[in-house]
Amino acid sequence: MITLVDRASALDPSFARGWFVSGVLRLYAGQPDIAIDHAETSLRLSPRARVGWALLTIGAAHFYTRHFDEAVPKLLLAIQEDPSLPNPYRYLAACYAHMGRLDEARAIARRLQTITGVVIPDLIYLRNAEHRELYLSGLRLAADEAT
């Protein structure tokens, strides 16, 4: 899929959706720095299209690079953009947990539980085992605190 989206972006460098999809795929492939670059490119090309999703991708990528302070504002904006989307809450709860802000992690996990019954999802799509464990360990801390 990465090869196909790279080809699409080469054929039309102004195709914002292609850059966004590439960012998501790079995130899943364990390439957070490229994911940030491609998601930011998509926002520059189309600043109003699926902003929450692009911010989620950028926030998640900062999370995986352990730049939690950079991830939090992006995730808060993603939640503001679409409060019904569960993934920004998950990443935010994991961020807060890893930052030692357990009260905030617990509060976000509780908000997440009002949106979905699944606090800790199946993460098989994440190819990088270290990223998967970082995410899961943060969610476990937040979920333990929320109960």
Tell me the pLDDT tens digit for each residue of 19-67. Answer: 999 999 999 999 999 999 999 999 999 987 768 899 999 999 999 999 9
For the chain, give the percent of residues with pLDDT over 90: 90
The reported pLDDT for the residue numbered 145 is: 56
Enter the pTM of the model: 0.93
The reported pLDDT for the residue numbered 26 is: 97
In the chain, where the domains are located = 2-146
The reported pLDDT for the residue numbered 111 is: 96
Tell me if residue 142 falls in helix, strand or coil: helix
Tell me the pLDDT tens digit for each residue of 90-107. Answer: 999 999 999 999 999 999
The matching CATH number, chosen from 3.30.565.10, 1.25.40.10, 3.40.50.300, 2.140.10.10, for 2-146 is 1.25.40.10
- CA-to-CA distance for 104 and 84, rounded, in angstroms? 19
